[in-house]
Amino acid sequence: MSQPASEPVSDRADLVSFLDVSVTPELLELALTHRSFAYEHGGISNNERLEFLGDSILGQAVTVMLYRENPDLDEGDLAKRRASLVSTVALAEIARHIGLGQYIRLGRGEELTGGRDKHSILADTVEAIIGATYLDAGPVAATGLVMRLIAPLLADPDRFGAAMDPKTSLQELSSAQGRGMPNYVISDSGPDHDKRFHAIVRLGKDEIAEGVGSSKKMAEMAAALQAWTKLSAGAPDAS
């Protein structure tokens, strides 16, 4: 039987080799299954529960690492550093570094609209893989995977620059470029115990970037960091 057009064509062996963790093929496939694919294939299981688990594992591993390795930083600075490492933008950067997009099982609609390179889909899939690793290989292996995934971010000398306070950095940059003050539009989805917040940052009438997070603050920071990155690089607006 030929492979459906919405299935990734890449062999997962390279991904498995890079991850270097023991996860069953079935659980890895689930971690790579976006809800759009599940919906188009009769409502099969998708990776959202694994993403929920992986988000917690990721946050704990990064928090413990930062606490142990930065004894002189106060709570506020530790929180900013954690945010810069676990934000949607940061996780999408990790996903692109390992070429994760090509392995994700997407529905046709998402495929046609560039879903393989969407920040939110990439970030959620990274978290789902972390969750799958925790279930199959245990907490030590999952923590080790998190540390390997974030290593390139930690090695970036600019990671804790604008990423430490992206809203202020964006405000300063947009003012310097004559773009005015950033404005954030927030929406949320999901049940009260597991809300996800979506932020759009605007400069004037232009929508520059967006971000998601488990709180309004996290979503705004993710959107601000993406906007700052675009303005710094001279990228065109997202509108």
Q: Consult the annotation and say whether 51 binds a ligand.
A: yes
Can 55 be counted among the known catalytic residues? yes
Gap between the Cα atoms of 188 and 223, Å rounded: 14
Q: Consult the annotation and say whether 207 binds a ligand.
A: no
Gap between the Cα atoms of 44 and 114, Å rounded: 22
Residue with tokens 């959107």: 223
Of 93, 111, 127, 220, the active-site residue reads: 127
Can 117 be counted among the known catalytic residues? no
Q: Consult the annotation and say whether 124 binds a ligand.
A: yes
Phi first, then psi, for residue 18 (nearest 5°) are -65, -45
Each as own residue / partner, the long-range contacts of residues 16-20 (CB below 8 Å, 24 or more positions apart, any chain) are 18/98, 19/98, 19/129, 19/133, 19/145, 20/145, 20/148
Residue ranges for the known binding site for Mg(2+) are: 51, 124, 127
Catalytic residue IDs: 55, 127
